Amino acid sequence: MQSAAWSGNQATGFSCVLEENGGFQRVSNVYPRVAAQGSGVWPLSRAKETMTTGTRLGAIVFAFLSSFVLAQTKQETPASETNGKIYLDAVVSTNGGAPVAGLEQKDFTVLDNKVAQPIASFEALGGEKAPVEVLVVVDAVNTSFSIVAAERDQIARFLHANGGHLAHPVKLAFFTEKGLEMQPQPSTDGNSLSAALDSYEVRLRTIRRSSGIYGADERLQLSLNMVRQLAQQEAAQPGRKMVFWISPGWPMLSGPNVVQLTPKQQQQLFANIVALSTGLRAARMTLYALDPVGADESVMHGSYYMSFVKGVAKPRDAGFGKLALQVLATQTGGLVVNSNDLTELFGRCVKDAEAYYEIAFVPAPDHGEQRDVYHQVEVKVARPGLPVRTLQGYYSNP
């Protein structure tokens, strides 16, 4: 049986040191974080009251954004971009959500900025032999403790299904204010993973009970750092990664009277949007936003995130809503699903690995040497009534 081993990752700050703590490897922050006082989690409505001047945001979030760009620039060329080609993982489904297998290259058209591009390579994939890894992230930063505690049994049911034999390798990760603690290796042994889940529960309870309140800006900072670092870590591994992020999402900090950005701040934020988009593509990560409690007004109302899903082509269009969990899930070709039955949500999402298509195409050329040029990507199939989900865009010369 696989042992319940975990590794850590940095949550915030510009530099870090490694610590060993009870067999867990954790990265501790050197850059100090401004901590809020009290207990519980602030709703966004209260966060509005604290951020009208933008001073706190400037001290915390934009310092983080600057370091975010520096960290991303250290990445190598995206693994999903080889020999001038861009690779897509495309899921074709019926209107009922069932994946469609059996399609051929001739059935597909790839549009780059609305111009059809030659398909350089094509492979139909799916089933247990598909090069897919599933990462389940339990978000204890943006979710209340009572909800996180209730999630455990539902995750265990998913792991024990089919006698504990999982169709694809799975890793468990816990996102707390201490950072991201994650199993170093995936496993198809659901029973072993469930035992690891049980071993982590006590530690998670201790952290949650001793935690202070986090303002909306700090939860945003923690969350985006985790997505960035997760992408950097997973980029070293081959194949497709399906990340099931169990959370109502982090604060969007967008809308009237929330955060008014200066042109310079929008330029910083645009650079980070480019960096995060490129990092996710490098890792071949598809995000899935699994909301276990329904629409949470401390984060968003219903489908409010849909107004931010369009790709950002210019700095003037940059806003924190463009970095929402649900937006990233949509843009990477994943799903945004909502139910208090996590087992059902897992089943819906993992279907994407039953049949999908790896498509490589030669990108449309840019005019001149301008950097960070946004390209909208669209994949169509010749058969009517079959929607396609895949990466919605990329930046050339990032």
DSSP 2-46: -----B----SSS-EEEEEETTEEEEEESSPPPPP-SSSB--HHH
Cα of 13 vs its chain's centroid, Å: 20
Kindly tell me the burial class for residue 2, based on how many C-beta atoms sit within 10 Å of its own C-beta (0-12, 13-18, 19 or more). middle
Segment 127-138, tens digit of pLDDT: 988 999 999 999
Q: How many whole angstroms separate alpha carbon 306 and alpha carbon 326? A: 8
Q: What is the pLDDT of residue 253?
A: 80
Q: How many whole angstroms separate alpha carbon 8 and alpha carbon 198? A: 18
Q: What is the pLDDT of residue 365?
A: 80
Q: Could you give the 3-state DSSP secondary structure of residue 245?
A: strand
Q: What is the pLDDT of residue 294?
A: 62
Q: How many domains does the chain have?
A: 1
- Domain assignment of residue 44, yes or no: yes
Q: What is the pLDDT of residue 68?
A: 55
Written as one string, the DSSP assignment of 326-354 is HHHHHHTT--EEE-S-HHHHHHHHHGGGT
Q: What share of the chain is helix, strand, coil (3-state, %, to 5)?
A: 35, 25, 40
Q: Which domain holds residue 215?
A: 16-76+129-353
Q: What is the pLDDT of residue 164?
A: 95
- Domain assignment of residue 89, yes or no: no
Which of 144, 138, 139 has the alpha carbon at shortest distance from 209?
Answer: 144
Q: How many whole angstroms separate alpha carbon 294 and alpha carbon 338? A: 5
Q: Do 279 and 224 contact (CB within 8 A), yes or no?
A: no
- Domain assignment of residue 325, yes or no: yes
Domain with residue 236: its CATH number is 3.40.50.410
- Domain assignment of residue 360, yes or no: no
- Domain assignment of residue 179, yes or no: yes
Q: What is the pLDDT of residue 116?
A: 95
Q: What is the pTM of this model?
A: 0.84
- Domain assignment of residue 281, yes or no: yes
Q: What is the pLDDT of residue 49?
A: 41
- Domain assignment of residue 65, yes or no: yes
Q: Which residues of the chain, if any, have pLDDT below 70?
A: 1-82, 201-214, 256-259, 294-302, 368-369, 398
- Domain assignment of residue 378, yes or no: no
